């Protein structure tokens, strides 16, 4: 009997913490509430970038420049839009007119957190990747019609795709934490914090460099990491790159964990 009660209690606790059906409802709700802003942002991002690329394509008669420009600008646009979306992941909690409804919505902290993450990272990445490829294909088809160049999709090697994914993951986790942490203007506040942190970091490194190497002009000296000069960073050892990557991923995971507990604290 006691075993049964314990099992029931454990089951109840599990259901309280995570329930797939509730999670689906939460995801559906999130989509219904933000579909319009997604649509507007995506149409604006793609539209502006396509217009610029078409201008370069036809005014400059340079299909390769147009495709190259689209590739870079669309990536940056989606990155920035993604940061803004991520900062707004918990907008309902930040607004006084919606916070009570959000807090009393029957779903656990974890489910609300996971929905926010799934919505702003995997879902956003997939949607923006599809739009990215479609936009590129559209311009390349126009280039094919006008100049006879062969139409194609953007080909990204797996290792580069991995690096892009890692960059997105790191950037996303920082802005996700900012979205939970700041009550108003989370996007700008997160940017400001990142700027301040980078300034403090640079200043710290500069001070230590001055203390360790008391030389008059640092720029004339060659700094070395693992026996490789910094100016020749391509030759940094695999271990050094691995350590750097691991450190950044660790920081991102810590941001995500902190975001969960901060959300829990804000909800509590």
Partner 1 sequence: MIKVNELKFGYSKKRLLFDNLNLELKKGHIYGLFGVNGAGKTTLLKHLSGVLMPKEGSVEFNGQSFKERPVSLLQDLYVIPETFSLPPVTVQKFFDIHAPFYPKMDANKFAHCLKEFDLDASMKLNQISYGQQKKFIVAFSLATNASLILMDEPTNGLDIPSKSQFRKLLAQQIHDDSCIVISTHQVRDLASLIDYVIVLDNGTIRFAHEMDEISKKLHFTVKEKTDETVLYSEEQFGGIKAICSKETEKDLETDFELLFNAVISDYEKINNAFKN
Q: Which is nearer to partner 1, 12 or 61 (CB)?
A: 12
Of the candidates 81, 160, 157, 88, which has an alpha carbon nearest to the alpha carbon of residue 125?
81
Among 8, 33, 152, 192, binds partner 1 (CB under 8 A): 33
CA distance 95 to 86: 16
Does 21 participate in binding partner 1 (rule CB under 8 A)? yes
Q: How many C-beta neighbours within 10 Å does residue 23 have? A: 18
Of the candidates 7, 156, 11, which has an alpha carbon nearest to the alpha carbon of residue 71?
156
| 3-state SS string for 21-33 | HHHHHHHHHHHHH
Identify which range of 12-20, 40-48, 131-139, 207-215 contacts partner 1 by CB under 8 A: 12-20
Smallest distance, Å, CB 266 to partner 1?
Answer: 11
Among 3, 5, 20, 36, binds partner 1 (CB under 8 A): 36
DSSP-assigned letters across all residues of 173-216: HHHHHHHHH-SS-HHHHHHHHHHHHHHHHHHHHHHHHHHHS--S
Contact string (CB under 8 A) for partner 1, positions 94-123, x = contact: -xxxxxxx-xxxxxxx--------------
Q: Token pair of 242, please?
A: 């691995």
Identify which range of 27-35, 203-211, 219-227, 242-250 contacts partner 1 by CB under 8 A: 27-35
Identify which range of 26-34, 155-163, 180-188, 211-219 contacts partner 1 by CB under 8 A: 26-34
Asked whether 45 and 77 are in contact (CB, 8 A), the reply is yes
Residue holding tokens 């271990």?
A: 239
Among 9, 11, 14, 29, binds partner 1 (CB under 8 A): 29
Does 10 participate in binding partner 1 (rule CB under 8 A)? no
Smallest distance, Å, CB 110 to partner 1?
Answer: 10
Residues that bind partner 1 (CB under 8 A): 12, 15-16, 19, 21-22, 25, 28-29, 32-33, 36, 95-101, 103-109, 267-268
């Amino acid at each position: 009997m006691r075993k049964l009660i314990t099992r029931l209690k454990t089951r109840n606790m599990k259901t309280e913490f995570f329930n797939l059906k509730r999670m689906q409802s939460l995801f559906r709700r999130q989509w219904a509430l933000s579909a319009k802003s997604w649509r507007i942002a995506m149409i604006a991002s793609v539209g502006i970038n396509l217009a610029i690329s078409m201008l370069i394509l036809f005014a400059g008669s340079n299909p390769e420049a147009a495709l190259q420009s689209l590739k870079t600008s669309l990536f940056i646009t989606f990155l920035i839009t993604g940061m803004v979306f991520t900062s707004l992941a918990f907008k309902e909690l930040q607004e006084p007119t919606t916070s009570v409804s959000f807090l009393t919505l029957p779903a656990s902290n974890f489910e609300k957190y996971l929905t926010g993450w799934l919505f702003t990272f995997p879902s956003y990445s997939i949607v923006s990747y599809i739009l990215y490829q479609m936009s590129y294909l559209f311009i390349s088809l126009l280039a094919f019609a006008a100049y006879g160049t062969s139409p194609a999709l953007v080909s990204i090697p797996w290792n580069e795709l991995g690096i892009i994914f890692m960059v997105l993951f790191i950037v996303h986790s920082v802005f996700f934490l900012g979205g939970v942490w700041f009550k108003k203007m989370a996007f700008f506040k997160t940017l400001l914090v990142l700027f301040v942190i980078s300034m403090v970091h640079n200043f710290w490194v500069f001070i230590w460099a001055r203390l360790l190497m008391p030389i008059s002009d640092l720029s004339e000296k060659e700094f070395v990491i693992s026996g490789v000069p910094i100016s020749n960073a391509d030759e940094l050892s695999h271990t050094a790159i691995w350590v750097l990557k691991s450190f950044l991923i660790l920081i991102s995971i810590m941001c995500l964990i902190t975001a969960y507990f901060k959300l829990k604290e804000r909800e509590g």
